[in-house]
A and B are shown apart, each in its own frame.
Chain A
Amino acid sequence: MSAKKQQVVDFAKIKSTMSDPYDKPVQVIDENGKIVNQELFDSFSDDELVNFMEKMVWERALHEQTMSFSKQGRLGFYAPTYGEEASEMGIALAMKDQDYLFPAYRDIPQLIQHGATVKEGFLWSKGHYQCYDYVRRGVRAWIPQIIIGAQYVQSAGAALGIKKNGEKDTVAYVFTGDGGTSQGDFYEGINFASAFQAPEVFFVQDNGWAISVPRKKQTAAKTLAQKGVASGVPGTQVDGMDILATYLVAKAAREFAAAGNGPALVETLTYRFGAHSSAGDDPSRYRTKEEEKPWFDRDPLIRLRKVLTAKKLWSQDKEDKLTAQYKDQFKQDMKDAEAAPEQKVSKFLENTFEVPTPNVAEQIKEYQAKESK
């Protein structure tokens, strides 16, 4: 008996119409330095525009100097930020001091903008306990997360804590990348914050690559922003090579969340110009120069430089001087980092529990004796 095939639900149709529910990525200046949204552009003062450029030049200089230190063997793990200056600084500038920041390992520049020092950034890379001194100073930022996704569930708790504390105009800010959105914790984090309607902004910096795995292999979802939809979290994409657009979208998301509307999600479309990390990753193993080229053309500094130069607000000379000035400061920060005190195992043991357990207490004595020799 041949049963007539009945179509109960047309999944193929659903799939084909499951298009990106969002408008195309927000953009203010295109890669040629053309202002594509005059109204949004006009919302910035000249000083603000110059400040945006200075922040990106600062981050680029920090990257270059860090790579130089790294090659000299003076640093440990470093995840290059080259190419992501607009995304990182655009978001960082939309943050307020009272916000809780949950960075991942590529988000050291935002962490520094939020109150950590460059020296602490270097110490984090080198592996020294003083790297987290910013937490002691009361900076509302957590550690650069290594388990990419863990910061999402943690920040959802912080957002709920903010809500329970009744803190006004305060949000949790969390970062991950395209690869991070595949983690279970990513989904649990956005779902928890949404279920509790907690004040949080989720940032996904889609830089195209999770080490060697391209964005298209992470998911069949059309955008990463739409991953919020199923949890009731509104999301949007923004041109992450355009600092003005990134800043405006981050600010709008923050305002939405801070006003008690629940969390929002922002996907910045950017590109990792360099390697995954300074520790031996070689992008030529998995991507071509041809593929990289159009992204280098979208360099976030190029477009704003063009706009500012045309407005007589910027010059190459000014940029070179600034870069040199920043790098001199980073060299001093590195010297300070290198002067950090010797680390003691006995202290690590002392810091394991508030009241050392008997086994730990015994080992403290053992190591103190070794260290006093």
Chain B
Amino acid sequence: MANKLTYIKAITQGLDQVLQDDPKTLIFGEDVGKNGGVFRTTEGLQDKYGEDRVFDTPLAESGILGMSIGLSLTGWRPIPEIQFMGFTMEAVDSVVGQMSRNRFRMSGAKSMPITIRTPFGGGTHTAELHGDSLENLFVGVPGLRVVTPANPYDAKGMIISAVENNDPVLFMENLKLYRSMRDEIPAEKYTVPLDKAKVVREGTDITVVAYSAEVNEALKVADKLAKENISVEVIDLRSLSPIDDATIFASIDKTHKVVIVQEAQKMAGAGAQVAADIAEKDIMSLDSPIGCVASPDSVFPFAMAENDWLPNADDIEAKVRDILSY
């Protein structure tokens, strides 16, 4: 049976299948019930599983993630939604100060299997604090996994893995990808590992490490440069914490050049950690400096200026050519 799904519907299908298989799973948050989420990610799930399993909460993020902790203590497997990643700031204590420390506190005895879904990403001209990539604030948190898929196949497989994982996972969904990608994916339940990067295009001259929407930008560059016989290998990081160094090192051991791309601001983020890991453990494989493409360290811009601010294929291409010129 054909199962050609958008990125967002791939997530919906994944959620549907985990709700089906595990009666202890709960989806809740603002507007996720009758409305099916402001983007319709949870559309139809309340009808199918009832208000006990899929329900709206009062409008308070700390309450949503705080109650996730209490629900998991009483045997439930919460899948809360924070409507936009910018709103997670209201609930930082629940994530950083509480759920992520739990397994450590309990000496491994008690897990907190919470999957926080949250949309992020620029390019859709939203209001302030709707498009910010705030992963830089979360990737350094011990006990928390931070993941983000870049295509429908991974979106479904990773949401299933995230829910089945027994530790807290921050699952970032890219707003721009929600409806701009549609792929044929398996209709049955499947998983994609949470801590493995993926080589999405093989190449031999230079490695581009990217994640989320920037993977597509990197692929555009790879297509373009292929016409000049420049072979670009593109890696989709998928997991921002932890970083899958093995996949990255295997690639740069072959290409000896690397450009790291992220939509988030440059300071102290996932890309900076990739650069640090390479510098610490595999620098001798390189024959040129590490290239970085990121948003500038200003506040996420006013909507009309987004395209001047967000890194795009042109920025990546320029940096790739720069690194290749060494």
Contact = CB atoms under 8 A, between A and B. Distances in A.
Interface in B97-115: 97-98, 103-111
Given A154-B69, A188-B66, A189-B66, A132 B94 contact: no
Interface string A322-359: 00000000000000000000000001101111100111
A359 B246 CA distance: 11
Contacts of A347: 107
A358 B246 CA distance: 9
Given A157-B70, A158-B70, A358-B242, A132 B106 contact: yes
List 5 tightest A-B contacts by C-beta distance, closest first. Answer: A153-B66, A157-B70, A161-B74, A157-B67, A158-B70
> Which of A195, A350, A351 has the most chain B CB atoms closer than 10 A to its own CB?
A351
11 contacts: A132-B105, A135-B106, A150-B66, A150-B94, A150-B98, A153-B62, A158-B70, A352-B104, A354-B108, A357-B195, A358-B245
Given A188-B62, A347-B107, A353-B103, A157 B243 contact: no
B188 interface: no
A351 B103 contact: yes
B288 interface: no
Given A156-B67, A191-B58, 8 more contacts: A150-B98, A154-B73, A156-B70, A157-B74, A161-B73, A192-B58, A351-B103, A354-B103
B253 interface: no
Contact of A351 (B72, B76, B108): B108
Contacts of A132: 105-107
A184 B109 CA distance: 30
A176 to B, nearest CB: 13
B98 A154 contact: yes
A153 B76 contact: no
Contacts of A354: 103, 108, 111, 165-167
A147 B69 CA distance: 14
B84 to A, nearest CB: 18
A350 B142 CA distance: 12
A188 B60 contact: yes
B185 interface: no
A357 B242 contact: yes
A165 B103 contact: no
Interface in B42-73: 52, 57-58, 60, 62-63, 65-73
B145 interface: yes
Contact of B70 (A147, A154, A350, A360): A154
Given A136-B106, A159-B70, A165-B74, A191 B167 contact: no
- The interface centre, meaning the residue of B62, B94, B111 with most chain A CB atoms within 10 A of its CB, is B62
Contacts of A185: 62-63, 66, 93
Contact of B63 (A136, A161, A191): A191
Nearest to A195: B58
Contacts of A157: 66-74, 78
Interface string A133-176: 00110000011000100101111111111101100000010000
A130 B173 CA distance: 38
B240 to A, nearest CB: 12
B294 to A, nearest CB: 21
Interface string B133-146: 00000000011010
A100 interface: yes
B63 A192 contact: yes
A130 B245 CA distance: 34
Contacts of A352: 103-104, 142-143
A185 B61 CA distance: 10
Contact of B94 (A153, A159, A165, A351): A153
Given A153-B94, A161-B75, A191-B60, A351 B107 contact: yes
A129 B102 CA distance: 12
A347 B75 CA distance: 25
B244 interface: yes
A132 to B, nearest CB: 6
Nearest to B69: A154
B104 A348 contact: yes
Nearest to B56: A195
B67 A154 contact: yes
B106 A154 contact: no
A161 B73 CA distance: 8
Given A147-B93, A153-B62, A136 B70 contact: no
A357 B103 CA distance: 14
Nearest to A184: B62
B90 to A, nearest CB: 8
Nearest to A351: B108
Contacts of B68: 157
Contacts of A162: 74
Given A143-B105, A153-B62, A160 B167 contact: no
Interface centre among A130, A154, A157, A162 (most CB of B within 10 A): A157
Contact of A353 (B63, B65, B143): B143
B67 to A, nearest CB: 3
Contacts of B245: 358-359
Contact of B67 (A142, A143, A160): A160
B245 to A, nearest CB: 6
Contacts of B167: 353-354
B150 to A, nearest CB: 20
Interface string B148-178: 0000000000000000011100000000000
B189 to A, nearest CB: 20
Interface string A185-198: 10011011001000
Chain A CB count within 10 A is highest, among B26, B63, B75, for B63
Contacts of A353: 103, 143, 145, 167
Given A132-B105, A353-B167, A357-B242, A154 B75 contact: no
Contacts of A143: 105
Nearest to B28: A160
Interface in A91-106: 100, 102
Contacts of A102: 70
